[in-house]
Structure 1
Amino acid sequence: MSAIESSFNSRNLNPLDIYVLPGYTVEVFAQGLNSPVSMVFDEDGSILIGESGEVDGNARVMRLRNGSYEVIAEGFNVPLSGVNVLNKDKYVSHKGLITLLKEDGRRYNVISGLPSLGDFGNSQVEFSIDGKMYFGQGSATNSGVVGPDNSWTAFHPYFHDFPAEDIELVGQNFVSYNFFSYSPTDYAFTGAFRPFGTPNRPDYVVLGNLRPTSCIYRSELDGSNLEVYAWGVTQPYRVKFDRFNRMFATNLTYDVRGSRPIKDCPDEFLFINHGSWYGFPDFCGNLPVTLPQFRPDVGPQPEFLMSRHPMIPTKPFAIIEPHAGVRGFDFDYTQEFGTYGNAYVALSGSIYPVTTGGYPLPGVGRRIVRIDMNDGNVSTFAINRTGLGASFTGGGGFERPMDVVFGPDEAMYVLDYNMATPINPNLYIPNTGVIWKISRT
């Protein structure tokens, strides 16, 4: 398949602006996408692309085949988070739902009512050799407490985080401006795992929920027998099995925001064990958030919310710098591209200033990293020569890499988000999403 020739001129594209390790070349494969967040090769060799709808309001699934785009289906809940395919059936993950899309265009919501009304939603599904379907479900809040950073409370005032098992809380409450009140002197007291303005008492027990946040779910392909596979994962953006049928997940962790800000928690590449707890909301990796290194510049040292923890979380398989923005990933099972079995992860970068404590971090993330699956070592594989996102410099390279997949031609394909505007790093120019192709020379 050749690169698409396009008349889109609102984004400068120059593969030479991307540094890649010696022995590889970069080219523009396709462009003109809107908020692309996931891609997968269909059985016929075409590429299915999930567009979140966050730029133009139209969450949809596209097919790229023989140099042309075709809309497969649209009008999904915003944001759409992923699309995957199995035996010609397409499974679309979008806010609160997983929809089965048949070859003839019929749609069936195989899973509905997922707890995706908060900060983070349900992720792209993955299939295992046992014929099951797996996917991640993100947290409602940054770190367990609903606060002024959660704008969704205006529409869902009683929503909050839900644990998968019974937990006992310390009973700490957090004071913030009461944005439900008209009085500027009215304050609210909010406890962990509670709606905004609802305090906790000491030793309060929160019962486990059948539809918890911060977890990884498993079900049958038709959505039946939905169960929690693992929990305490803040935002499992993507789950995937390696050739040994081991599950791994990229996990976006805590930000410096809200009623309980946590600083410098690295993003994670997790090896997922069935039944394990991965630390939300009291651990960063396998380290307690009560350590001084996690104290924000403005605000108190985070304290434990839970009086007892299910277990000490295991150390992540790989650690990636804070605010790197771990997204989609793939394993290299080609014969020629690189070391067999290594993982490659797309890093989209920080969401400045709302998640970083106000600090611009233009040199964080915005690249493709390689993870050595023997020892967890992380190294940069492809990055803009400036080290910065393209919108910061006006360059022609990566903006926000969102996904990585290996194609049937054994080349790497990188899905890159829309270009941000010069005046606002979180406002995007329509029709500027890109697919890059990286090949072995």
Structure 2
Amino acid sequence: MTEPVVVMNGLDFPTSLVFDPDGRVYVAESGLPFGGAAPGGRVRRLDHPDRDMESVVVVDDLAAPVTGLCWHDGSLFVSEGGAGRITRVDADGSRTTIVDGMPGPGNYHTNMAVVGPDGKLYFSQGAMSNLGVIGLDAYELGWLKRLPHAHDIPGIDITLSGVNITTVDPFSGTRTTTIDTGSFVPFGTATQAGQRIPATVPCTAAVLRCDLDGANLELVAWGLRNAFGLGFLPDGRLLAVDQGADDRGSRPIGNAPDLLFEVHEGGWYGWPDFVSGVPVTDPRFAPQRGPQPGFVLAQHETLPQPQRALVEFEPHVSATKFAAAASGHLVVALFGDETPMTAPPGHPEVGRGLAVVDPTDWSTRPLQGGPKLHRPIDVAFGPADGALYVIDFGRFEMSDDGVRAKAATGCLWRWDNWEGDK
């Protein structure tokens, strides 16, 4: 088995890669200004990933974080997550806004796009909150300070149970003033039992689709918290990697796994009240940072049956994106935990590697023998050489003081003759 080699290095927190039909690879740098990195996302092209490391910038000044790349019919579709926008970049460098005005900013963003067998553009929109209620974690992350701020929007008609969470009011200037916040409303807004909130498009926590020019935006499925990875299999099935909720915020949950779903049109995937069909009230989800979550939605019997996942990954591995090998096996990037933000201090280090999923029984196992990775975030197979390409985000850790990261530590690996499907 050939040892993995670096084919692009010195990258600032890259998130995405895609190949064109000629075998050229495009890599997106997120534009996140961690560790002194220059702000603003950019896309680099490597013309000969099998023999050189010289790349050129094909587009820059993108809204951070850039979360995805899609190649279709001679153009790149770039997901500018921080702006709630998807931009088409043509061969001459011209830009056309395809999707705009998506909800945000929030905890999660407008994610990667893929073109389906029907010629439509499919993409996911992450949730604004951890588990449906805007909490103090949003204030700590910074975006709650922007007024007016975003909140979650349902993709199907819902009725609220009237659960409200009492927290300190960070805008009061004191540590004793409290405020109540319900679900699917702005911070500091209480809700009532039986309160109805109608479906809206665009919504959060959803997979959506539109024409390639952005027209006819519509909902595909709702209740996927943050479907960061999206892709069609050769047989036309749409899969999504959905990142599980964390032990943080006003409605914390413990031990929630990341999930791999098959996405069915009209389906509800459980968020914010179920995890792979299991209610959040189940004792297995008891958090350490707060009480067991109760239901925020009423009348579950009027909603579609919550879908169960094909695969449940270990909690906090932060599964991101996947690629299908010629054998049908899936390789999934596991970015890794972000303790102490997403789990209490002392939580064991997990993720930071690759997993193989066998679609015959949906079993998983670690992919051994690969490169030493800091934070794998995207994977793809080269159309010409069949090699496995892996994007490493770079050195990035969370601490009690915030992000600790080092710029120019991201890279692209090529792994010839990988044996993950043996």
Answer whether TM exceeds 0.5 for this pair: yes
Q: How far apart are 1:42 and its partner, in Å?
A: 1.6
> 1:383: Cα distance to partner?
6.6
Per-residue CA deviations over 1:14-42 (Å, capped at 9, x if unaligned) read xxxxxxxxx46322222111111000112
Amino acid paired to 1:175: T
Cα contact 1:117–1:156 (8 A) shared by 2: no
Residue 434 of structure 1 corresponds to: 411
Counterpart amino acid of 1:430? A
| Structure 2 counterpart of 1:61, one-letter code | V
1:192-220: CA deviation from partner (whole Å, max 9, x where unpaired): 11100000011111111111100001110
Q: Please, what is the CA RMSD of the aligned residues? A: 1.7
Q: Which runs of 4+ in 1 moved over 4 A?
A: 421-425
Structure 2 contact 86–98 (Cα < 8 Å) conserved = yes
Corresponding position: 1:163 with 2:149: no
* Alignment partner, residue 372 of structure 1: 358
Q: Of 21, 26, 34, which aligns to 2:4?
A: 26
Q: 1:411 pairs with 364, 387, 390, which one?
A: 387
Match of 1:322 among 303, 315, 320: 315
Structure 1: distance between partners of 2:6 and 2:237: 33
Corresponding position of 1:261: 252
List alignment gaps of at least 5 residues for structure 2. none
Opposite residue 72 of structure 2, the aligned amino acid is L
* Aligned counterparts, 1:24-103, within 5 A: 25-54=3-32, 55=34, 56=37, 57-66=39-48, 67=52, 68-94=54-80, 95=82, 96-103=84-91
CA distance in 2, matches of 1:382, 1:34: 26
Distance 1:422 1:261, change over 3 A: closer
CA contact (8 A) 2:247 2:288 kept: no
Letter in 1 for 2:380: V
Q: How does 1:132-143 map to 2 (within 5 A)?
A: 132-143=120-131
1: distance between equivalents of 2:246 and 2:58?
36
For 1:222 and 1:196, how far apart are their aligned partners in 2?
35
* CA distance, structure 2, for counterparts of residue 62 and residue 327 of structure 1: 21
Q: Would you say the 8 A contact 1:351–1:426 is kept in 2?
A: no
Query: 1:162-195, CA deviations, whole angstroms, 9 ceiling, x for partnerless residues?
Result: 0011100110100011011123211110001110
Question: Residue 284 of structure 2 aligns to a residue in which SS?
Answer: helix
1:158, distance to aligned residue in structure 2 (A): 3.8
SS in 2 for 1:427: strand
**3-state SS of the aligned residue for 1:440?**
coil
| TM-score in terms of structure 2 length | 0.92
Determine helix, strand or coil for the equivalent of 2:151.
coil
For 2:342 and 2:152, how far apart are their aligned partners in 1?
Answer: 19
- Alpha-carbon distance in 1 for matches of 2:397, 2:114: 34
Deviating more after overlay: 210-219 vs 429-438? 429-438
2:329 equivalent in structure 1: 342
Identity of aligned residues (%): 34
**Does structure 1 conserve the Cα–Cα contact (< 8 Å) formed by 2:134 and 2:151?**
yes
Report the secondary structure of 1:153's partner residue.
Answer: helix
1-structure distance, mates of 2:337, 2:122: 27
> Could you list the runs of 5+ residues in structure 1 that have no partner in the other structure?
1-22, 334-339, 385-395
Letter in 2 for 1:33: L
**2-structure distance, mates of 1:241, 1:162:** 26
Contact map agreement 1:383 1:398 (CA 8 A) in 2: no
Match of 1:400 among 348, 356, 375: 375
Q: What TM-score do the two structures reach when normalised by structure 1? A: 0.88
Q: Return closer, same or farther for 1:285/1:167 CA change in 2, 3 Å cut-off.
A: same
**Post-superposition offset of 1:361:** 2.9
